[in-house]
Amino acid sequence: MTEDSISQRADLEKAVRTFGGLWDTERGLRALRDTGHDPDPKHTRRILRDLASEGLLVKVEDWPVRYRVVRTG
């Protein structure tokens, strides 16, 4: 994983924890752009999947894929 990938993951996780609610690729992309990144949709989707596998997000819709924050601490 590159340094930028690690930074994007950290910034997106921070946004998810801070703002909560529902997350999809578009919201993830906006959050990363707001923190100064030039995100790739595929990478953003991977980060969201990783956060879901760690228990921070739970998938609530399959198409389009949408996640909900399950914990913020």
Predicted local confidence at residue 28, as pLDDT: 98
Residue type, 66: R
pTM over 0.85: yes
- Which one is predicted more confidently, 4 or 68? 68
User: To which H or E segment does residue 56 belong?
Assistant: none
Asked whether the beta carbons of 25 and 44 are under 8 A apart, the reply is yes
List beta partners, residue 61.
Answer: 66
pLDDT one-digit tens code per residue, 16-46 = 999 999 999 999 999 999 999 999 999 999 9
